[in-house]
Chains A and B, each alone.
Chain A
Amino acid sequence: MEDSLKLEEALLSMDRAEVGTILEGAVARGELDVAITGALESIGQRWDAGEVALSQVYMAGRLCEQAVTQFEPTPPTEGVAPRVGIAVLEDYHMLGKRIVLSVLRAAGRPVLDLGRLTVDELIDRVCAEQLEVVLVSVLMFPSALRVREVVDGLALRGSNAKVVVGGAPFRLDAELAGRVGAHHVGRTASDALRILAELEAR
């Protein structure tokens, strides 16, 4: 807990050296995951509350991701349940996906980066990769509406993959995720950690 509080402040003040020092100590105590997860979840909650800016969330994830590569190799993308992929759907705005990727990798969560995909491409990849969870990031409202086609298309193909959505349209309209049939919605990048932990526990 103490590590994650100190880490949170170091990340928000962009103190790269202090971040490294704190993580070294956390590694020595076997608490790297706890420190990172706690710090990034708290930053995510503060972003949701309007206390920190999107640029801070992005840089916090990047700093953690960069620092962690000193201690751990890139997490495997295979062999760990649930199998998770992340994609930007239809639009071209990659920042949200980038932030979530940083958070997941920094926390040691394997995730397959699917890039930017159309509806049909995403359905095909989820089925081909036998993904159990697909994280869908959008910025544009019409892209958010097309999540419905992804959910319906996966069901038609017999996939049980859970569709987790995130992005500005879902923050601006609390009812939108339900309307498009998403199984879960994350308001912050760090919500992905919580949602994956919940799905893993089932």
Chain B
Amino acid sequence: MNTPMTSLGRTLETLSHREPDRVPAFLLLTMHGARELGLSMREYFTSPANVIEGQVRLRRKFGHDCYYAFCHASLEHEAFGGDTVYNEQGPANAGAPVLRSPEAIDSLEPPSIEGNPPLQRTLDIVRGLVEAAHGEVPVLGVVISPFSLPIMQLGFPAWLDLLHAALEEPAGARRAQLDRLLAINQSFCVRWANAQLAAGATAITYFDPMSSSTITTRELGVGFGMRLARQTIGQISGPVGIHFASGRILPILEDVVSTGAAVVGVSADEDLATLKARVGGRTSLLGNLNGIEMARWTPAEAKAAATRAILAAGPGGGFILADNHGEIPIQVKDEVLHAIVEAVRTAGAYPILASEAS
């Protein structure tokens, strides 16, 4: 199997649990595009043409296997009327919560996609990347899960307060507000995901850190998060990957698999070989390089970490090498990124020698 495949071809092959020519590498780069073009973060992310050019240049530079249409998580918060606070050294943050109290949920209306500037910019980015891809590169759209979006909409402490108040009084006003918020968010999430697919996105990444065992209990993560994920993903008209932004999932893995996601983004805190064995070919894995440590790696350390991951989860396909958070910090040097891609070209070429541990 020495014929070079396209990035899209090898990605589809591995997601079918077959071994392509090599392990795909998804460098989930966002801010690096601004640096590549010499622009401020605000200038870069508020112009679809800049983001498209940035993604194209980054892939040309590093040779990885995807285009990433994600700008920042606060984009959906902006769509609901919030602000984005840009940071030249890191990811943009959501500004003040759009919902100042749970009572504000009573009058919350879901945003329209048409005429919504941040959403329309993203659709332009998707369309531009699809054109640049020429059918050879997967273009990844992103949505924030209905269960995780309230972290920005309400603020994290207020969201946890609302959840627990609703659980304490199932027939009370807080439960009604919770249900309304989740219903509005779910409806928006489905429409937004399908709009990106209609614009040509190959797949949707469904970000759901709130459901992870790192953040919340099994009762909430499965009872609310994974139930919502199953319902929401079931209404999305294309392939979906579910990602927990470094959150642990082993305690809820069967529920994660039951969502129907084609690929699961996994944490550096959990063992790849264990995850691979437990999913048993029912879904694929994406991960799990530690992006924070990556910022201080030498190229040799990067290659070693990538090689360990490849050996742990690569055999048999069903694995894409990536960072574990869904976004690589701007502090990660080019030489480290080159080393990661070099690792998939060498250690990641199939057939891979199975790890002694697996």
Contacts and interface: CB of A to CB of B under 8 A. Distances in A.
**Residue of A55, A92, A176 with highest tally of chain B CB at under 10 A:** A55
Interface string B217-256: 1001100000000000000000000000010100000000
Contact of B295 (A55, A58, A141): A141
A54 B94 contact: no
Contact of B329 (A54, A95, A141): A141
Contacts of B293: 172-173
Interface stretch (B54-62, B85-93, B181-189): B85-93
Given A92-B95, A172-B246, A54 B164 contact: no
A147 B358 CA distance: 40
A173 B290 contact: yes
A76 interface: no
Interface in B28-55: none
Given A53-B213, A92-B85, A176-B292, A98 B164 contact: no
Interface in B161-218: 161, 163-164, 167-168, 213-217
Contact of B87 (A16, A52, A58, A142): A142
A70 B95 CA distance: 35
Nearest to A172: B292
A14 interface: yes
A50 interface: yes
Interface string A90-123: 0111110010000000000000000000000000
Interface string A56-72: 10110010000000000
B246 A54 contact: no
A52 B216 CA distance: 8
Contact of B292 (A53, A94, A173): A173
B6 interface: no
A2 interface: no
A188 interface: no
Given A54-B215, A58-B157, A92-B85, A142 B290 contact: no
Interface string A163-178: 0000011001101100
B292 A141 contact: yes
A22 interface: no
B215 A94 contact: no
A189 B167 CA distance: 24
B75 to A, nearest CB: 16
Nearest to A98: B157
Nearest to A176: B292
A140 interface: yes
A172 B213 contact: no
A53 B157 contact: no
B269 interface: yes
A195 interface: no
A55 B160 contact: yes
Given A53-B213, A92-B95, A142 B89 contact: yes
Contacts of B268: 172
Given A55-B215, A95-B157, A173 B93 contact: no
B160 A140 contact: no
A92 B246 contact: no
A53 B217 contact: yes
A140 to B, nearest CB: 5
Contact of A55 (B90, B95, B217): B217
Interface-central residue, B160, B293, B330, by most chain A CB under 10 Å = B160
A179 interface: yes
A86 to B, nearest CB: 14
Given A141-B295, A141-B329, A95 B156 contact: yes
B101 interface: no
Contacts of A145: 89, 331
A170 to B, nearest CB: 9
Nearest to B152: A92
Given A54-B214, A95-B156, A98-B157, A173 B331 contact: no
Nearest to A92: B93
A55 to B, nearest CB: 4
Contacts of B246: 168, 172
A53 B290 contact: no
Nearest to A14: B164
Contacts of A62: 161
8 contacts: A14-B167, A53-B217, A55-B217, A59-B160, A93-B156, A140-B93, A142-B87, A142-B330
Given A54-B215, A55-B164, 5 more contacts: A14-B167, A55-B160, A58-B160, A140-B93, A141-B329
Interface of A: 14, 16, 50, 52-56, 58-59, 62, 91-95, 98, 140-143, 145, 168-169, 172-173, 175-176, 179
* Chain A to chain B: the 8 pairs with minimum beta-carbon distance, closest first: A142-B90, A142-B89, A172-B292, A95-B156, A55-B216, A173-B292, A92-B93, A53-B216
